[in-house]
Each structure stands twice: as structure tokens, then as C-alpha cells.
Copies of this chain bind each other. A is one copy, B any other.
Amino acid sequence: MSLFPILEEISQPTPSKILFVVLDGIGGLPRQPGGPTELAAAQTPNLDALAKQSMLGLQYPVAPGIAPGSGPGHLSLFGYDPIRYQVGRGALSAIGIGAEFREGDVGVRGNFATLDAAGRVADRRAGRPSNEENVRVVGKLKAAIQEVEGARVSFYTESEHRFVVILSGAELGEKVSDTDPQKTGVEPLRAHPHDPADAASARTAAVLNALSARIREALAGEPTINGALFRGISERPKFPSMQQVYKLNPACVASYPMYKGVASLVGMRVLEVVGEEDAPEGKVKALQAHWAEHDFFYLHFKKTDSTGEDGDFDAKVHKVELFDRLLPELLALKPDVLVITGDHSTPSVLKAHSWHPVPVLLHGPYLRNDPAQRFTEDEAARGTLGTLRGTDLMPLMLAHAGKLQKFGA
């Protein structure tokens, strides 16, 4: 059951500041049984010293056994039950590419496909085109189609065969079936509203059916990419904000569109970060520049996940060590509460997000003694925070920061 009604009642604004560091995909695995994980292999003098003065534990972002995507992983860390607060695939793609995507807009995940002469799907991914090829075809569509059946249509490249359509400027609904038949040898499906009486969703379906035909016309001369399949039709979700539930004035310090998008969904102000890619120094500068203005900072580092996804154990170790070198600058800001964790594990031996619980470190006032000596999976398993769910972290941070009153008399 969600704690939100209770938290909304007992949360209170205070001047104390929380710094919430998310090292994406930080949890790992040993390369061979008994060996060190990436965190254990890293030389981390600053993290080690901090761990000795902190409480540690493990957290399952969604539930044991569940490997979360970035969306549910982060929503859970922000305290939003990821089963209840789901983001549709189209909306998540729209958010993930950093598109302009407002309340009332509908996001659609598109696949470029190859259709045969009879209009049947021959390849659902059009031979997995390059990103450059995708950009070229998206450019062609942008030039040819701006409006369909009264709705504005915007196209965006995602990657390879994947693109995003955002529909706006009309009363649109999201309760619409996919046109992707999920198999070859049959024609693309027609989009249907789940309920014919739902006029807004019926309008979305009509737009998408007309759009399918317009895309085929526009791409008629293309040898491979000559059709599109739509799925995950979804509005920008309306979630309660962190301001409303926690009485926080929260800010996001991240570089990649997906994380900025999820942060903005829960009401965070997205601070500008100057620098290339993960821009660790740019993030520290952004924190320093805006430290006086907010009481909650979400600070995201991506590369611990990317290196894990690449299966590069040593590179992930190196990214941990890079973070360790930044840590003194974060501590110099003197956050009242500092929490370090990840949105999921990405063990380099798996080259993928995994279901393994993620180490969490909580530094601040009112700590119990804790035997953990380092910020590693093994030590966190001995920590006195025990085994938590991702959604437990926000209330814990707020409590240590003095931002929660007693519940009940």
C-alpha cells in the first residue's frame, strides 16, 4: 500500500538539505565465485571512510527477481511505487529522448518496418538500420508530415529502427491498441480505441491509422524502410509531485534525457549541466551553483551503468574510482543527509540490468552503529539498514533530515 497519503500528511519543509546520489547500475557481481565485484575491486578511499561513518543496506528497486528498467528503477528511488506509477512505453521514449512532451500530448513508439508489395510486414525492424539512416528517414517524414486529422505530428529518432511520434494540439486519448502485429507475413493492424465510446482515444486511433497511410506514401520510394508500426501509445503521465507529497523543493542534476525526463515527471527542476557526456565536473559545478536554492538534489551518474552494459568490468571499476575522487567535493557542500545507491544492478558479467539488490549508504545525523567498512555488496549485506525496497529510501532520507513528523498521536 502506498505511503503517499501518510507522507503528505506528516512531511514538513525544513532548511535541511538532502543529496541523493544515484550511481546508475552500481550493483555488480564477481567475475568468478568468491571474487570481488566491481565495487569491491575499486580503490575507493573516500567512500571507504564515508562507509565507516554511515549506515548501509541493500535495496530491491522493484522486488526480488525483478530487473528494472531506468523508468521504474528511478520512480522507485523517488518513492513512487513502480507497479502503481507505470509510464507507458511511448511516453517513456518521448521522455527518454528529451522531446518536448507536455500534458495532454500522446507519445507513440514507432518501429520502421519493411512491407512487401501486398502490404504485409516482411521485417518488423527494416533490417535494423543505422542511426544515421534513421535520422535521414525521420528528416524525410518531418518534411512531409506535420499535421494529420487535426493533430500536430512530431517525429524523433530514437535509435536503429526505433523512432518516436508525439501527437499534440487535439483532444487525444491513450487507450488505443498497437498497430504492430508482432509478427511478419500479415498486414499492420489498424489502431482501435479500447472503448468505442471514448472519443479522445478514438481520435488518436483515427490519427494513427491516417498517419500509417501517410508514412507509406512519404516512404514509397524507399527500398527497405517503407512502413511504420506503432505501439505503446501513451499520454504523459500525471503523477503527484515531490513538492506535494514530500514538501520538498527538489532539483535534478543529470546529463541524459531519460533521467531528466523522469525527474521532471515527479516535479523536479532540471538544472543545467555544462560538459560532454556524463560531465562529472559539470555536475559538481551545477550543484555548487544552485546549492542555496533547493533542499533536495538528485545527482545522477550514468557511466557505472554503461560500462556494466558493455561488459567491461575494469571500466566500471574505473568509473567507481572516478566517483570516489569527486566525493570530497560533494561532502564539502555539507549536505545534512547524503544517500548513495543505484536504480538497479548492472553486473558487467551480465552486460545488462539485473535483479540483484543494490547497495545503499545513508550518511547523516541519528545513525545507529553499523559494521559495514566499505560501500560494497558484501558489506552492505551486513549493514544495519537491512534489506529494503527502493521506495523505502525517500521516507528514510526525509526522516534523517528532520522532514517527517510523527505519524499518529
Contact = CB atoms under 8 A, between A and B. Distances in A.
A1 to B, nearest CB: 5
Interface stretch (A87-95, A143-151, A247-255, A324-332): A87-95
Interface in A87-116: 87, 89, 92-93, 96
Interface residues of A, number: 68
B65 A409 contact: no
Interface stretch (A123-131, A219-227, A284-292, A380-388): A380-388
A395 interface: yes
A164 B10 CA distance: 23
A261 to B, nearest CB: 12
Nearest to A356: B368
Contact of A409 (B29, B66, B96, B407): B96
Nearest to A6: B83
Interface string A372-407: 000001100110101110001011111100001111
B395 A63 contact: yes
How many monomers of this protein are in the complex? 2
Nearest to A396: B65
Contact of A384 (B67, B71, B378, B405): B378
Contacts of A353: 406
A388 B397 CA distance: 19
Interface string A352-377: 11111100000000111101000001
A3 interface: yes
A72 B34 CA distance: 37
Contacts of A181: none
Contacts of A394: 65
A83 to B, nearest CB: 5
Interface in A64-83: 64-73, 81-83
A62 interface: yes
Contacts of A66: 3, 6, 10, 395, 399, 404, 407
A65 B395 contact: yes
A341 interface: no
Contacts of A69: 406-409
Contacts of A405: 67
A369 B65 contact: no
Nearest to A352: B406
A342 to B, nearest CB: 14
Nearest to A37: B368
B369 A67 contact: no
A33 interface: yes
A386 B70 CA distance: 24
A72 B407 CA distance: 8
A348 B82 CA distance: 37
A350 interface: yes
Nearest to A345: B368
A71 B408 contact: yes
A85 to B, nearest CB: 11
A311 interface: no
16 contacts: A30-B369, A33-B53, A58-B384, A63-B395, A65-B395, A65-B404, A66-B407, A69-B407, A71-B408, A96-B409, A349-B366, A355-B404, A377-B384, A378-B384, A381-B386, A387-B387
